[in-house]
Amino acid sequence: MSKYCPKCGNKLKDKSRFCVKCGYDFINDDDKSRFSFNTKDMIIIILVILIVVSGAYLTFLLF
C-alpha cells in the first residue's frame, strides 16, 4: 500500500509520517481525524446522559 502527499503529490509509503519531498506533516492530519472522533464521542456521551436523565424522570414518575 502507498499514499500520496496531498500537498505535492509525492508517492509515499503508507506508514510515512511526513513527506520527504515537501515536508508535509501527516501527523497533523491524524490529529484532525482524532478531533472529529472526539466530537462523535461527545454526541454519544450527550445521548447517554439524556437516556439516564429520562430514565431517572420515569423512575420519579413511577414512585
Contacting residues toward Zn ion, per CB under 5 A: 5, 7-8, 10, 19, 21-22, 24
Identify which of residues 23 and 55 has a Cβ nearer to Zn ion in the complex: 23
d(CA 8, CA 52) in angstroms, rounded, equals: 50
Give Cα 33 to chain centroid, integer Å: 4
Look at the alpha carbons of 7, 10, 16, 19 in this order and tell me if their dihedral is positive or negative. negative
The CB-of-2 to Zn ion minimum distance in angstroms stands at: 13
Identify which of residues 8 and 49 has a Cβ nearer to Zn ion in the complex: 8
Identify which of residues 3 and 10 has a Cβ nearer to Zn ion in the complex: 10
